[in-house]
Amino acid sequence: MNNRLKTFAKLAAQGMRRNARLFLPFLLAIVGTAAGLYIVAALALEPGLEGTRLALQRLQEMMILGLVVIGFFVLVFLFYANSFLFKRRKKELALYQILGMRRRDIAGILAFEALYTALAGVGAGLLAGIALFKLAQLAMCRLTRFDVVFGLGLSVPALLFTAAFFGGAMLLMLALNLLHIRRVKPVELLQGAQAGEREPKTRWLLTLLGVGTLGAGYYLALRSRDAMQALGQYFPAVILVIVGTYCLFTSVSIAALKLLRRRKGFYYRPNHFISVSGMLYRMKQNAVGMANICILSTMVMVMVSGTVSLYAGTEEMLDLHDPADYMVTVTLADDAEKIPDFSALRAALADKLAEGGIGVTRMGGGVGVSFSAGVAGDGYTLVFDAAHRVANLHVLTAAAYGDLLGVDPPAVSRQDVLLYGGDPSAENLTLFVPIGSELTTVRLNVAGRVDEFPKLSTMFMLDAEDVGVVVADDAALWRLYALQRAGYGGNASHLRWEGLIDVDADAQTQIKQEYDLYEIGLESLLDVSYHSLRVRSRAEERADAYSMNGSFLFLGLFLGLVLLIATVLIIYYKQVSEGYDDKARFEILGKVGLNRREARRTINHQILMVFFLPLLVAELHILLDFRMLSQLLGLFSVTNTRLAALCSLITFAAFSLVYGAVYALTARVYYRIVEG
């Protein structure tokens, strides 16, 4: 290394030591995010787990998705931190040029700083990631209920990916800094650190845009009727709220403070005068940082509360979708002209399970048909569009109903039906069926209602009310089946035999036997053609559900941690920035008659307001987002609103404690700068 390079290396090291308050948090953030990115990359590329093939595939898909999302947010906040660092050091870099250094000499110093940052931050992050990988893997296994394959925590592909990711990011940040130095004159660099000291202008157009976008986002969140509408409107609502949040802090808050200043009776009082003018100055300086903190805080809480609610509702989801150890569904073909006898199928299923050493403790089954219809007044129409509320009608015979639930068949006559769900005051089941060019009306008397209904494989269509219909016998069932075939034609639903089987066997045995049930020779057991045979085991569905929901929770917590690191870094830099600015303001306030104690109390009051305002706005976002979030959880069959509310409340309380702790720690740094 020649003398010039040695000088650059020495100046870079000295500059980083002098600016330790700025560089050390940045290095620690790189260490944390590099460790996190390595762990997720290792889990995505080499999970080192044992489980069912489907569940492992789902897990890796989730980890790859999480890797992309985490990588994106890490990149965003690295560039944000770099822009802050560069702004705080503009005066130092300008002095280098004034003292005779050329731009390429400064480029050499910045290059060594980037090299030191990469070697120290990324190197330590990779070591921390390797050391913590097994702990993270065990935590994920606890959530997803996988078995761990013990071995080294070193993943070469993940190592190379993380090093390349951060190496590319550091090079790009260095290039942007060099480009800025090349384009800006030294005098402009000297003024850059003091940018934004003039009084902010009121931007009424931006203010109106902020109020409009925030209101529109809240309107979408509060007016969504169901899960599918919430899914379609969620991202537009998020974008509107993000835009509105930036406008709220950058323009709406300034407009509100200026309106207070115009109220002379309020403004020309010592405390109000100092507070309003100081807040006006602070909003100009910190608006974007406060908006970033608010948005990141909201994202952390939504992500964590949503994934915790999803994971906590896993068993509820399983109870809804998988009421027995095995669910067997045989769908009859279009050309089926009768309802066959399924007793031979039941016996074959029991025999096949016995061959695998599995004893049947209960088997229930029956034939039914399920079809969708639009709610039309006091009935249901087979001619409907998006304007209609949709209901799913599930028709079973009384014998099938009793057999599936393990109860005595209810008594019902040929022209009557028993209902589950729907309009509780309905006296008739009315169907409007298009047959030819006419709309035929069919009415069946509702003889009574049932308190429960078997959980069928067709009862999980989104955003539709499930209505159970119990008819007398096969002839009554065939009549309704034929009506919906006449109405829907080629789009009609098929007749299905639903079987629910409980067994005495462990989970692994059940999963293995699930695939053997497809070999029962169904063709020889039925005297009509069939369309498909489907077998699901609760054990495999549980493994798949926990692999998905556990992965969601793991990634939610992990991404929440990454965003929390970004939030803490932004808060820290905001406190440091305000500390340097307020050092001079303390002296000014002393010159206008305030003693040191009063000046400190005034500024501390302003800091508290500015610091906790993003948290209060984030709380408002969470509150108004809850309706839409609970509807989206319904897409995963988590319908327990009270559980989701409890998870959201606990998440907000925990985050508020962390937020307060961060304030207490960063406030110390602030006062050391101000009083130093």
- Which residue would you say has higher pLDDT here, 144 or 357? 357
pLDDT, residue 126, reads: 92
Most confident listed range (392-396, 432-436, 514-518, 561-565): 392-396
Q: Tell me, what's the pLDDT at 472?
A: 92
- Beta-bridged to residue 484, according to DSSP, are none
Q: What's the pLDDT score for residue 198?
A: 55
Burial string for 230-255 (b: 16+ CB within 10 Å, else e) reads bbebbeebbebbbbbbbbbbbbbbbb
The letter for the amino acid at 668 is R
pTM of the predicted model as reported, rounded to 2 decimal places: 0.76
Whether 228 and 463 have beta carbons less than 8 Å apart is answered as yes
Three-state helix/strand/coil letters over 612-641? HHHHHHHHHHHHHHHHHHHHHHHHHCCCCH
Structure tokens that stand for 273 in this block: 């005068």
Q: Quote the CA–CA distance of 118 and 174 in Å, as a whole number.
A: 11
The arithmetic mean of pLDDT across residues 350-363, rounded, is 89
Map residue 475 onto helix, strand or coil: helix
* Least confident among 20-29, 190-199, 456-465: 190-199
Average pLDDT over residues 57-63: 75
pLDDT digits (tens, 9 = 90+) for 220-238: 888 887 777 787 888 889 8
From 90-99, 102-111, 503-512, the region with the lowest mean pLDDT: 90-99
457 vs 108, which has greater pLDDT?
108
**In whole angstroms, how far apart are CA 176 and each of 120, 309, 467?**
21, 42, 62
The mean pLDDT of 127-156, rounded to a whole number, is: 79
- The chain-wide mean pLDDT, for the chain, equals 81
pLDDT above 70 covers a percentage of the chain that reads 84
Where does the pLDDT of residue 409 fall: very low under 50, low under 70, confident under 90, or very high at 90 and above?
A: very high
CA distance 572 to 568: 6
Contact 66, 44 (CB under 8 A): yes
From CA 607, how far away is CA 602, in angstroms rounded? 9
Q: 331 - beta bridge partners?
A: 496, 532
pLDDT at residue 152 is higher than 60: no
* Position 87 pLDDT exceeds 90: no
- Return the pLDDT at 191: 56
DSSP state string for 272-336:
HHHHHHHHHHHHHHHHHHHHHHHHHHHHHHHHHHHHHHHHHTHHHHHHHH--SSEEEEEEEPTT-
- Cα separation of 484 and 488, whole Å? 6
Contact 268, 262 (CB under 8 A): no
**Percentage of residues in the chain having pLDDT higher than 90:** 17
Between 316 and 268, name the one with better pLDDT: 316
Of 441, 443, 456, 440, the residue nearest 395 (C-alpha): 456
- Which residues, in sequence order, are bridge partners of residue 326? 501, 537
pLDDT mean over 399-422? 90
pLDDT, position 196: 45
What DSSP line would sit under 166-194, residue for residue?
HHHHHHHHHHHHHHHHHHS-HHHHHHHTT
Per the listing, tokens 């069926």 go with: 433
**Banded pLDDT at 586 (limits 50, 70, 90):** low
Predicted local confidence at residue 477, as pLDDT: 92
**pLDDT higher for 676 or 366?**
366
Burial of 114 (0-12, 13-18, 19+ CB in 10 A): buried
Q: What angle do CA 414, 419, 424 make, to 5 degrees?
A: 135
Q: Are 636 and 621 in contact (CB under 8 A)?
A: no
Q: Which residues pair with 503 in a beta bridge?
A: 360
Kindly report the length of the chain.
676
Residues 6+ apart with CB under 8 A from 625: 221, 298, 302
User: At a CB cut-off of 8 Å and minimum separation 6, what does 248 contact?
Assistant: 210, 214, 291, 617
| Nearest partner of 497 among 524, 533, 525, judged by Cα | 533
Residue 38 pLDDT exceeds 70: yes
pLDDT above 70 (res 273):
no
Report CA dihedral (633, 638, 642, 648) to the nearest 10 degrees.
-40
Residue 49 confidence (pLDDT)? 63
Q: Which amino acid is at 183?
A: R
The amino acid sitting at 285 is Q
More confidently predicted of 252 and 114: 114
Q: Look at residue 602 in the predicted model and tell me its pLDDT.
A: 65
pLDDT band at 114 (very low <50, low <70, confident <90, very high): confident
Mean pLDDT in residue range 278-300: 75
More confident residue, 389 or 213: 213
Q: What average pLDDT does the segment 504-516 reach?
A: 85
In the prediction, which pLDDT does 187 show? 58
Q: Please name every residue paired with 374 in a beta bridge, in sequence order, or none if there are none.
A: 381, 390
Q: Alpha carbon of 147 to those of 45, 51, 150, 220: distances in Å?
A: 17, 7, 9, 43
Please name which of 57, 64, 69, 9 lies closest in space to residue 33, comparing C-alpha atoms. Answer: 69
Alpha carbon distance 77, 635 (integer Å): 31
Q: Which two tokens stand for residue 406?
A: 């393990």
Q: Which amino acid is at 371?
A: F
User: CB 539: neighbour CB atoms within 10 A?
Assistant: 23
First to last CA, the chain: 39
pLDDT at 150: 59
pLDDT digits (tens, 9 = 90+) for 170-208: 999 988 888 877 766 665 555 554 544 455 666 778 778
Helix (H, G, I), strand (E, B) or coil at 356: coil
Q: Report which of residues 627 and 600 the model is more confident about.
A: 627
d(CA 230, CA 236): 10
pLDDT of residue 646: 92
CA distance 551 to 557: 10
> 270-279, 520-529, 623-632, 667-676: which has the highest mean pLDDT?
623-632
